[in-house]
Amino acid sequence: MRRFSTYLLFVYVFASLLMLSCRAKKEVSKSHPTEIPTLQSLHIEKDLKKTLNQWLGAPYKYGGNSKKGVDCSGFVCAVYLEVYNTKLPRTSKDMYIFSEHIKLKDLREGDLIFFNYTGKGVSHVGIYLENNKFIHASTTKGVIVGDLNNEFTRKKIVGAGRVKKK
């Protein structure tokens, strides 16, 4: 009986540590500017580009919604509110439900791209820019520009959505 109790305690501690590690604050190294591509070469709307440049490199923080720490949906919410004066639902799943679903071939600047990284449906969101580039809050690198042509990224796409902007 004692051996079984010890085993259960070990399993509980291990599972707790594993779950906590998924939500740990991950910092972006400011000393490696090559990890944070600029938006200068992209031809996107001036106000959007200005706002996104202010967010580039912001560290990831689960549940965060400021430039001191932000998660993917907090980032998208903040950008939409500032640039488009549009309030979005707080979670990526709710954004997916809220948006008008579109085909990937119809993506335009400012559209949302949804991903499944957990195996449980929509778990991540980013903002489409142009030429298969999108911006999002990565759990390991913070706010970065990603490429939809990346094989791993493309496999995780659930769909795309468009939100009416005010």
Instruction: Please pick, among 32, 72, 77, 101, the residue that the annotation labels catalytic.
Output: 72
Q: Is the dihedral of CA 93, 98, 100, 106 positive or negative?
A: negative
Q: Which two tokens stand for residue 147?
A: 């490429």
SS (H, E, C) the chain: CHHHHHHHHHHHHHHHHHHHHHCCCECCCCCCHHHCCCCCCCCCCHHHHHHHHHHCCCCECCCCEECCEECHHHHHHHHHHHHHCCCCCCCHHHHHHHCEEECHHHCCCCCEEEECCCCCCCCEEEEEEECCEEEEEECCCEEEEEECCCHHHHHHEEEEEECCCC
Q: Is 22 a catalytic residue?
A: no
Instruction: Please pick, among 22, 43, 101, 136, the residue that the annotation labels catalytic.
Output: 136
Q: Is 72 a catalytic residue?
A: yes
> 88: number of CA atoms within 13 Å, CB side?
34
Q: Is 101 a catalytic residue?
A: no
Instruction: Please pick, among 32, 77, 101, 124, the residue that the annotation labels catalytic.
Output: 124
- So which residues are the catalytic ones? 72, 124, 136
